[in-house]
Amino acid sequence: MTKHGILTEEEFKTYKPPARAVACLNEFMTAKGCHESEIKVLDWGCGRGRFVLWLREKGFNAFGVDIDAEPVENGLTLFKAKGYKDTPLTLIPTSGRTVYADEFFDFLMSDNVLEHVSNIQVAMDEIGRVTAANGSGYHIFPAQWQIIEGHLFMPFVHWIPQGLFRKAVISLFVKLGIEPKWKELEGRSNNEKVDTYYKYSKDNIFYRRFSFVQQQFEKQGFKVTFQTINNPAVSRNRLLGPFARNRITKPIFNWMLLTFKQVEMVIKKGS
């Protein structure tokens, strides 16, 4: 189900939370010596709030924010049906400042969201503001030079500068049947699809170097630790694991993952 559909109990029952984010949150909670109800969690870019609801059902004091009103409204319906009387999901206003007080959250996470943030400085300022001293967070997003663009499913399209050539490449992929096949474009002409995909590539995805994102977090007083190479999908892989563990190959392999695959980071704020 997409953001355009109302979140239902039936759908929520099949939801699987992001395992790495959950593991990081549990590690943070254990280190703090706290119970779930004592941890305030924010899902930045929450969509319909499935992870927020999952966390609440586990006892966490969880909230979510998003820039899009449609998924937020489609998610709140189920929260209300389950008896949550507060407003767990809210919008990020154009100013970028959320409704939450300074240092309100102990743990903040985002899952494939930062690549959609046009003004990363505004987002970082707010993340820094609402994260408590000694708070932590988990963020995962696509690497800048991933081979296949993960939203349009088109190889190299985001490598090409904006303009007629990128649009022509998108048109070629659409003719070849290589496209995301969004529900809202069903029955539309190829030209309409190309226009929509091209506009999306300009206005909705902003890939950045992992080191640049690291610097933005560090400016807010966070210490950043990259975790991509420690992901079990890498470390336990029969082919990739040896490269991830070998002290000679590990640095270059880590750089390749962060540059061409995905960025997975844990952040910790100072006191």
Residue 252 lies inside a defined structural domain of this protein: no
CATH number at residue 138: 3.40.50.150
Residue 149 lies inside a defined structural domain of this protein: no
What is the residue range of 75's domain?
A: 9-144+207-242+262-269
Rounded CA gap, 214 and 105, in Å? Answer: 20
* Per-residue tens of pLDDT for the chain, all 271 residues: 577 789 999 999 999 999 999 999 999 999 999 999 999 999 999 999 999 999 999 999 999 999 999 999 999 999 999 999 999 999 999 999 999 999 999 999 999 999 999 999 999 999 999 999 999 999 999 999 999 999 999 999 999 999 999 999 999 999 999 999 999 999 999 999 999 999 999 999 999 999 999 999 999 999 999 999 999 999 999 999 999 999 999 999 999 999 999 999 999 999 8
> Across-strand partners of 42?
63, 108
176 and 97 within one domain: no
Which residue type occupies 235? S
99 and 164 within one domain: no
Residue 75 lies inside a defined structural domain of this protein: yes
168 and 45 within one domain: no
CA distances from 81 to 76, 85, 261 (A): 9, 9, 39
138 and 184 within one domain: no
